[in-house]
């Protein structure tokens, strides 16, 4: 009886694990199929004899590449702007710090106003550091967008080549 209970519970555990595993595999297969349907691969489409690359396809690829380059350009402009702001602020901080150092060294008596000036220089330094960090992040984003734009441009070239094969008489 005890051996029978053991094997029955083991069987239930095994069946439960099997059902869970099957459900996970089914979900993965459905997600994989759905993902492949939503995003066609231009390289695969170029090899398939049943998928012709039309002028509309080429035009869509060109528009996507243009949009990607425009987005990359805006990101690069933002990065340059932030970098310039950080540089200007860093120069101001440097001059404030030099003034405060000179003021502290030349003074014979210490006052709270000296601390206020030093605190102002430190605050400006922290602000410059934050802007520099933002500029760095913006530059990284611009580089990422430029890579995506390069990939979009490569997709245009592939689409143009395939269109020339599919429609040799086309003016595109």
| CA-derived radius of gyration, the chain | 32
pLDDT of residue 48: 54
Lowest mean pLDDT among 6-10, 34-38, 46-50, 53-57: 34-38
Count other C-beta atoms under 10 Å from residue 65's C-beta. 21
Q: How confident is the model at residue 42 (pLDDT cuts 50, 70, 90)?
A: low
What is the C-alpha separation between 82 and 76, in angstroms, rounded?
A: 10
Distance, CA of 61 to CA of 149 (rounded, Å): 11
Q: Determine the pLDDT at residue 26.
A: 45
Mean of the per-residue pLDDT values of the chain: 78
**For 81, how many CA atoms within 13 A lie in the half-sphere containing its CB?**
8
Separation between Cα atoms, residue 161 and residue 166, nearest integer Å: 9
Is the model more confident about 86 or about 46? 86
Domain ranges of the chain: 1-39, 51-166
pLDDT at 118: 80
> What was the pLDDT predicted at 60?
96
State pLDDT tens for residues 95-154.
988 888 888 788 778 777 777 878 888 888 899 999 999 999 999 999 999 999 999 999
């Amino acid at each position: 009886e005890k051996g029978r209970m053991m094997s029955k519970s083991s069987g239930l555990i095994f069946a439960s694990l099997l059902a869970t595993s099957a459900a996970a595999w089914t979900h993965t297969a459905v997600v994989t199929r759905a993902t492949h349907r939503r995003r066609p691969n231009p390289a695969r489409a170029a090899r398939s004899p049943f998928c012709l690359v039309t002028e509309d396809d080429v035009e869509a690829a060109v528009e996507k590449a243009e949009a990607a380059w425009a987005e990359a350009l805006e990101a690069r402009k933002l990065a340059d702007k932030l970098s310039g702001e950080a540089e200007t602020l860093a120069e101001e901080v440097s001059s404030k710090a030099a003034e405060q150092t000179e003021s502290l060294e030349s003074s014979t008596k210490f006052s709270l106003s000296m601390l206020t000036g030093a605190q102002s220089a430190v605050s400006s330094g922290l602000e410059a550091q934050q802007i520099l960090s933002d500029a760095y992040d913006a530059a990284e984003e611009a580089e990422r967008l430029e890579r995506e734009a390069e990939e979009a441009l490569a997709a245009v070239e592939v689409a143009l080549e395939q269109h020339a094969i599919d429609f040799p008489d086309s003016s595109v």
